Each structure stands twice: as C-alpha cells, then as structure tokens.
Amino acid sequence: MKKHILILLAIFLLSFILKVYLVTKEPMMYNIDAGYYVKHINEVFTQGYPDVSDPPIAFYYAALFVAIFGMMLGFKIAISLASAAIAFPVYFIVNYITKKKDISLFAAFLVAFSDVNMFMMGDLLKNMLGLFFGAWFIYFIIKTSDKFNIRDALLAFVSLFLMVGSHFSSSAYIILCTIPFLILLPVYNFHKTKKLSKESVFCIALLAVLFFSGITVLLFKGYELGNFGIIRLNTEALSHISFALFNKYSLYALLFLIGMYIVYRTNTRYFLFFLLWLVTAFLLTQPLFVDEAWTFRFEWNTYVLAAIVSAIGAGYFRKDKSIFFVIILLVALFLLQMFWDAGHSIAPVINLDEWEGLLALHESRPDIVFTEMFGGAIYWTEAAGFEVSEPHPDKYLLVCIEQHEPLPPHMEMWNACHHTINIPEPLIHELEEQGKIVAQFGRFYVIKFRYLHP
C-alpha cells in the first residue's frame, strides 16, 4: 500500500480512537440531544422505523452499531466513526485540486482533528453524517463540473441522496453554498466557449433536482411562503452584522487567505467555488437571513471549508521544507490542544444512576406524565418511555435541589437540572416529610405539579 494512503488511514484511525476515548470517559451518551437518539434508535428496533419527521438514515446507521455494542457504546462508536471519516473526502478534494499528497494529508488532519468537529460529535450524529456525505457531494461536483464523467455525475447524485437522507440542516448548508456555483459556472463556461458544455448541462440538471427536492421538502415540512424554516428575513436584525464566523476560525486566517490566492492564480473555477462558498456561509451566519437558533450550526459546518482552503494555503511554503514543516507543526499543536479541550468541554446531561432511575420509575409507574421541562431533560424522560405535555395539576414534575455553588463551565451547559424546575432544599425536606415525593434518584425528585402550583 502506498505511503500516503497509510498516513491517511493513520490520521483517520488516530482521530477515531481519540474521539472514542473522549466520549467513553462517562458511561452515558453526551450532550443535550443524547436522549433524543436513544428514543428514536430504540424505535428502529421496536417498530422498524424512527418516529421522526427528519431524515432517517442516521438512525438506521447508528442502529447497526447499537445492535453490536449496546446503546451507549454503539452510538459513541457510530458518531466517532462518521466524524473521523470526513478525512477521506476532504483528502480527495484537496488532492484533486492540488495534486499534492502532503497538502491533501494536512487537509485530512485539519478536518479530522478540528475542535469544532470534536465539539459537534458529542451528540450531533445527523449533522456529522450529513457533512460526511456532503463532503463527498462537493468532491463529485468539483470533479464533474471540471470534466464531465457519467460515473462521477451518478456518484454526485448518490451522495446528494445520502446527505439529504441524513440531515436537513447540514444538507441545507451544503446545498445553499454550492447553488451559486452551479448557477454561475454554466454562465462562465458559455461566456468562454459560446456553447453549452456537458459540465454545464450537469450543473443545470443538478440545479433542477435540488429545486424540486427543495420544494418537496418544504411541502413535506409544512412551511409557508415567506417562511422556510431556518431561512427567514428578520428585518429587526438589519443593522446587526455578525463576524462570529471569522472569529471562530481565526487560527486559519492567514493560511486561508493564502489558500484563496493560490486557488485564484491556478484555477478560476475552483476560486469561484470557494469564494461563493465563503460568501454564502457568511450570509448563513447573519441573523438578518437565518433564524438565530441556526446561525451557530452554520458557523460550525464551515470548518470543512476552513480545513480545505487553509491546507492549500500551507502549500505555498512547500518550496522551503523547513518552514513548511514548522508551519504544519505549529498549526497541528494548536489544533490538537483545541481538539483536546473541546473533548473535555462536553459531558452527559444525566448520569447512569439517573437513567436507571427513570427506567425503573417507568416500569413501576408508566402512567406518570411529566411537564415543565425542556431540552435534554425532555429527551431523556421520553427515551425512558414517559410522555411530556402541557402543565396540569395531575401531571408530574422532575425537580432538582437549587445549587448554590457554581459548577465548572462545561458542566453548567450539560446539567439536566437546568432543564427542569429547581427548588430550595428545605422545601424538598418538607415535601418528603409530607410523603409527597413519588420517587428520588440521583439529583431528581418526582412530585405532582399541584404541590408546587396549587
């Protein structure tokens, strides 16, 4: 096997192993969405399909690993594999553009060890899988728009199907960032050659598929004209311009700019592709155009672009091997530190005792219906089999004792007690003395809604 392939495999394996290590330090699955995946992956086994309005591929993918390793470990292996494997399509993208194996390997390293990638893979399996297939989609778009090949064209459509079938949000990001290129390339080619090339026909056909697929998704999701879910005009944010995208990737700034310059000098089409991707990504992080609940997701997704172009920028220094390797070493050290910190900034929302307590409570009291909770608390409660609904005197609360000492910053974010009602410790003791505590496990106490809201 060729040396560069062995190095690529080593990058993938090391990234995968470190990610599995970081997310298996605790027995439970990590971050807010964990319970959501437990619930819907279990549905794959119990009813054959996940009961969700979102694309289902990620749940079937995870179920393969859960069937072998169990829910908690299986999910962690599945998400680590998907996030580490993005090194492969990114390697092929850069290798196709630069024809330089060392630059391509550096790009694979940057994307596989991105701190953003590490943070996201705590629980965003659909996002990870969508970006993995999205990177392949980009690769085949670049190849087919450069020189048409029926095999690559078909693979572009296959990767598009797998991407959209994995996640709407990451698919929307990739599609919106590529559409301007697909529109402008036929115009550019026709201006140069005065004829409609096969590459242009491919772009037009792909645009047609994206258009009709987008209409289908919008109708399926029930969006109305003028309200497309994550994309909407917010005139109140007209004066607010967010530069969070550039702040997040400031480490890459110099190499990225050099990379854009190199691409500009070597191939106008590739420069057009990356420039339009960058501009669209910037627009997707503006509250003027995108619901603020989603702008940060699009900031995260841009780590793929940052890795590709920054690696190309590092190639500018290849003529001087010592400077080239010093730059790679410095960037790698900074990135590994950020990667490691990101891995320690995520944590489970609930612990194993609390999960087992929820399961035991559902076995003994399946009639309980909870209320007044959100986020991770809802997901884990529903994963245990409970229903969560609107407040009512006969519903139940999952409460925690008020904390007076602040938790470490990374634990504050993932603390399930922040997703439920917190009450003073003396009140808990009073309710215990009155026999009004239905159950207690870990940090949680179960009481009727009317005891706190008469």
pLDDT tens digits, one per residue of 314-325: 989 988 888 989
Identify which has the larger pLDDT, 416 or 48: 48
For the chain, what percent of residues have pLDDT higher than 90?
A: 43
Lowest mean pLDDT among 141-150, 158-167, 424-433: 424-433
**Which of these, 284, 286, 269, 138, lies nearest to 197 by C-alpha position?**
269
Per-residue confidence at 224, pLDDT binned at 50, 70, 90?
Answer: very low
Average pLDDT over every residue of 266-294: 85
pLDDT of residue 290 exceeding 80, the answer is no
**Whole-angstrom Cα distance, residue 255 to residue 306?**
9
Two structure tokens written together for 309: 């172009």
Do the beta carbons of residue 130 and residue 82 sit within 8 Å? Answer: no
Beta bridge partner(s), residue 401: 423
pLDDT score at 227: 41
Residue 412 binned pLDDT confidence (cut-offs 50, 70, 90): low
Sign of CA dihedral 401, 404, 408, 414: positive
pLDDT, averaged across the chain: 86
Q: Which residues are bridge partners to 228 per DSSP?
A: 231
Q: Which of 14-28, 124-138, 196-210 has the lowest mean pLDDT?
A: 196-210
- DSSP E strands: which ranges in 11-96? none
Q: Do the Cβ atoms of 163 and 170 come closer than 8 Å?
A: yes
Q: pLDDT class for 347, splitting at 50, 70, 90? A: confident
The least confident of 106-110, 136-140, 249-253 is 249-253
Place of tokens 């694979």: 108
Pick from 41-45, 86-90, 175-179, 241-245: least confident = 241-245
The region, left, alpha or beta by phi > 0 then psi within -120 to 50, assigned to residue 438 is: alpha
Q: What pLDDT was estimated at residue 170? A: 86
**CB neighbourhood size of 367 (10 A):** 9
Structure confidence at residue 85 (pLDDT): 95
Half-sphere exposure of 215 (CA within 13 A, CB side): 5
Please give the pLDDT value at position 225.
Answer: 38
Coil, helix or strand for 270?
helix
Please say if the pLDDT value at position 238 is more than 60: no
Of the given ranges (180-189, 200-209, 289-298, 322-331), which has the lowest mean pLDDT? Answer: 289-298
* Strand pairing report for 396-401 and 444-448: antiparallel
Reply yes or no on whether the pLDDT at 180 is more than 80: yes
- What is the structure's pLDDT at 186? 87
Report how far residue 412's alpha carbon sits from residue 418's, in angstroms, rounded to the nearest whole number: 8
pTM recorded for the entire structure? 0.89
pLDDT score of 417? 78
Q: What is the pLDDT of residue 146?
A: 85
pLDDT at 334 over 70: yes
Cα–Cα nearest to 342, from 156, 121, 172, 170: 121
- Round to whole Å and give the CA distance between 246 and 228: 26
Supply 232's token pair. Answer: 């909407």
Count other Cβ atoms within 10 Å, centred on residue 4.
15
Mean pLDDT across the stretch 349-359?
90
Q: How far is CA 307 from CA 94, 315, 436, in A?
A: 10, 13, 56
Pick from 309, 247, 311, 270: nearest CA to 11 = 311
Residues 198-214, mean pLDDT to the nearest whole number: 84
Q: Which residues make beta-bridge pairs with 369?
A: 387
> What integer pLDDT is reported at residue 168 of this predicted model?
81
pLDDT of residue 255: 93
Residue 192 above 50 pLDDT? Answer: yes
Query: What does the radius of gyration of the chain's CA atoms come to, in whole angstroms?
Result: 24
Judged against a pLDDT cut of 50, whether residue 88 lies above it is answered with yes
